[in-house]
Amino acid sequence: MSTEAKNVLILGTGPAGLTAAVYAARANLEPLVYQGPEPGGQLTTTTDVENFPGFSEGIMGPDLMEEMRKQAERFGSEIKTGWATKVDLSSRPFTVSFEGGEEVKANTLLIATGATAKTLGLEREKEMMGFGLSTCATCDGAFFRDQEIVVIGGGDSACEEATFLTKFGKRVRLILRRDAFRASKIMEERVHKNEKIEVIYNQNLVDILGDRKSGVTGAVLEHSDTGEKTEIECAAIFYGIGHHPNTELFKGVLEMDENGYLITRPDSTQTNVEGVFACGDVKDHVFRQAITAAGSGCMAAIEAERYLAEQE
């Protein structure tokens, strides 16, 4: 074990990374934690979290993450900002390089880089992102007061976004590509009960109308079965179609599944490289909950602690 290297390097500050930091710090491992482009992770883009145990009245996502961060720092975690660009796991200690040239050596690496919102890959997406097109209702919803809003997707994310956006929009149209929801029943029912939401089934978004000057002005939809195209007017389009794991850095280095999620041993956060652990959404495409991410962050820290003890 290198004494110059950090005992524990954690990438990511969502519930997984920060829970790992709390546990590692309380084990006197002085973890160094790097936050990337979305400090606090996906919960910072959500509003009420009603299913995180311990908060009977619910808690706002950003507030929950702020508390987790303070808790991690209280026990001696160091939290820095930086974009990891390269990892070398072929020799020990491991080396992680960050944008700007900084290199960090670590005896264990905990990967908690999470997942990012998916987009549809439409031609005009890049041009219109931030100009009426968004993947984050809580970030951008307030810009569209009393306007027509469209949400794409039929899962819990889309339902949550659509419901939230009724606080602002004149009307919210939720566009599903199938004739059924993927969302949980309770979320679907909330949507149906909300008079400001209109559900449109069997339609795919195929083009975005508008330009950067006037913002989004409409959406072109194509019927899933007939291929018939229609145009609808709207000022905003929100994507709620799921996520992909942030694992580009580990391609060819760590084992991952066909969707890019890191593979860990059963009942463990251990990856195929000893001393490298993965926790949270970066390895979980099944549950994807804050509480399960936090749970696996705890597991990763305990496994890292045991691994370090064995090496000594």
| Active site residues per annotation | 136, 139-140
C-alpha closest to that of 274 among 257, 258, 255: 255
- Whole-number Å distance between alpha carbons of 112 and 246: 9
Binding of ligand NDP by 31 (CB under 6 A): no
Binding of ligand NDP by 174 (CB under 6 A): no
Binding of ligand NDP by 156 (CB under 6 A): yes
C-alpha closest to that of 213 among 131, 129, 140: 131
* Nearest residue to the partner ligand NDP, using Cβ: 155
Site for ligand NDP in 270-299 (CB under 6 A): 288
Binding of ligand NDP by 206 (CB under 6 A): no
What is the phi/psi pair of residue 33, to 5°? Answer: -120, 130
The SS3 assignment for 262 reads strand
Taking CB under 6 A as the binding criterion, the range among 10-18, 125-133, 148-156, 254-262 that sits at the site for ligand NDP is: 148-156
In angstroms, the Cα distances linking 80 to 4, 103, 104 are 18, 13, 12
Binding of ligand NDP by 157 (CB under 6 A): yes
Determine the size of the site formed for ligand NDP (CB under 6 A): 19
Taking CB under 6 A as the binding criterion, the range among 25-33, 58-66, 176-184, 188-196 that sits at the site for ligand NDP is: 176-184
List 26, 105, 171, 182, residue binding ligand NDP (CB under 6 A) = 182
Binding of ligand NDP by 111 (CB under 6 A): no
The SS3 assignment for 78 reads strand
β-strand pairing of 59-60 with 48-49: antiparallel
Both ends of the chain: CA-CA distance in Å? 7
The footprint of ligand NDP (CB under 6 A) covers: 51, 120, 152-158, 160, 177-178, 182, 184, 204, 241-243, 288
